Structures are given as C-alpha cells and as structure tokens.
C-alpha cells in the first residue's frame, strides 16, 4: 500500500481532510493514516459503529492485532455520536465541553511512546444532519486543541458535499481549516 499520508508521520500537528466516494475507500484512507510511516504510537478512532468495524477489519487485513492493541492502550475506539453528545449544546459544539471530553483522551495517548494519530467523523455526522456551521465550529475546536497537544488528525466527509452549492461558504471554511485536502480514490 502506498503511503499517501506520509506527511502525517512527521511534525505531529497535521489536520487533513479527505472527501471519499465509498465506504471502502474511507476505510482504506483511515488505515493509511493510522499506519503512516509504520511508526508505533496511539491511534484514536472516533467513528460510527459501522465504520469502526470496517476500520478494524481493514487493520486486521494489514496485519494489525487490533484486540492486542486495545489491550495495550495503543488503539482507542470511540463512538462518534456518543462522543459528540458529550459536548454539543443546542446543536452547537461547546468549547469547554469539547476540551473536557477530548483532553483526557489525548493526554493518555500522549503519555505513551510514539505519535498520536486521530480519525474523527463527527464533523461528517454534523454535516449530514444539516449542521454545516456546527461542523465548521468543530473543525476550529480541533485546531485549537492541536495548539495544546501534538497529534495528526484525519477528518472525512462524503465526496457528495463537494457538489453542495447551498453550503459552499462552509465547505470553503472546512477546506481552509485543514493542512491538506485529499479527494478521489485511495492509492492501494
């Protein structure tokens, strides 16, 4: 598998977005991110149950012993909807609650050796729910969190959002919030 996320293995504060056409492409991109550079570290996956299953299946295909990684604390899986519920107030992300939710997770991960790599699809859930402005705010909160903690973050949205003229301003803000914007088929 060609490492399209090699940029994520250095520096630790990258915030990349991928626009994907299909679920398998999404799983491939996430695994490329989590396996970037082959370096040990801690992986945090904040996803829907279906996508967590696809990701763990894909990691297993790549030779990762996911149950062992969970047991060692180097793989942390969180439910996207449950995690979001802990910091959303009246349909908008609350900054203090977001920090209270994510800071302890990142501190634990950063206490382990190696880089911390995060995949989050909470922003896509917001977008899909018609809350594009809330997704923009959440992206900004991730960037604020990255000023405090060193981690590589991959966000994902379905490619269909690229054709959404109604939320073009929010889409431009989403792209501007990231250090790199990727779309199209993965290179596996």
For residue 17, give the nearest of 183, 146, 150 by alpha carbon.
183
> In 3D, which of 152, 137, 129, 146 has the Cα closest to residue 41?
152
pLDDT above 70 as % of the chain:
90
User: How much is the pLDDT for 12?
Assistant: 58
Rounded mean pLDDT, 14-19:
91
Give residue limits of the domains in the chain: 19-156
Please answer whether residues 8 and 117 qualify as being in contact, where contact means their C-beta atoms are separated by less than 8 angstroms: yes
Identify the burial level of 147 via C-beta atoms within 10 angstroms of its C-beta, where 0-12 means exposed, 13-18 middle and 19 or more buried.
exposed
Distance of CA 188 to the CA centre of its chain: 19
- DSSP state, 62? T
Q: What is the mean pLDDT of residues 156-179?
A: 87
Reported as a single tens digit per residue, the pLDDT across 139-160 is 999 999 999 999 999 999 998 8
**What are the residues whose beta carbons fall under 8 Å from the beta carbon of 25, sequence distance 6 or more?**
185, 186
Task: List the beta bridge partners of residue 75.
Answer: 43
- What does the block give as tokens for 139? 């992206």
pLDDT in tens, 50-67: 999 999 999 999 888 888
Which tokens is 27 given? 């799983």
- What is the DSSP-derived secondary structure letter of residue 1? -
pLDDT at 1 over 60: no
Is 22 strand, coil or helix?
A: coil
CB 44 within 8 A of CB 69: no
Element (H, E) at 17: strand 15-20
Percent of the chain at pLDDT > 90 equals 59
Task: Give the pair of three-digit tokens for residue 117.
Answer: 């790599």
CATH of domain 19-156: 3.40.50
């Amino acid at each position: 598998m060609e490492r399209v996320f090699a940029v994520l293995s250095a520096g630790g504060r990258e915030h990349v977005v991928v626009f994907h056409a299909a679920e398998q492409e999404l799983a491939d991109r996430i695994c490329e991110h989590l396996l970037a550079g082959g370096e040990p570290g801690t992986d945090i996956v904040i996803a829907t149950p279906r996508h967590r299953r696809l990701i763990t299946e894909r990691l297993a295909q790549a030779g990762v012993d996911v149950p062992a990684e969970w047991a060692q604390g180097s793989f942390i899986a969180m439910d996207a909807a449950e995690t979001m519920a802990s910091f959303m107030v009246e349909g908008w992300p609350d900054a203090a609650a977001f920090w209270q939710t994510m800071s302890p997770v990142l501190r634990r991960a950063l206490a382990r050796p190696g880089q911390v790599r995060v995949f989050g699809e909470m922003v896509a859930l917001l977008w899909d729910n018609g809350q594009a402005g809330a997704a923009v705010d959440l992206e900004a909160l991730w960037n604020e969190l990255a000023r405090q903690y060193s981690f590589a973050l991959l966000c994902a949205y379905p490619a269909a959002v690229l054709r959404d003229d109604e939320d073009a301003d929010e889409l431009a803000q989403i792209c501007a919030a990231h250090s790199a914007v990727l779309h199209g088929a993965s290179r596996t």
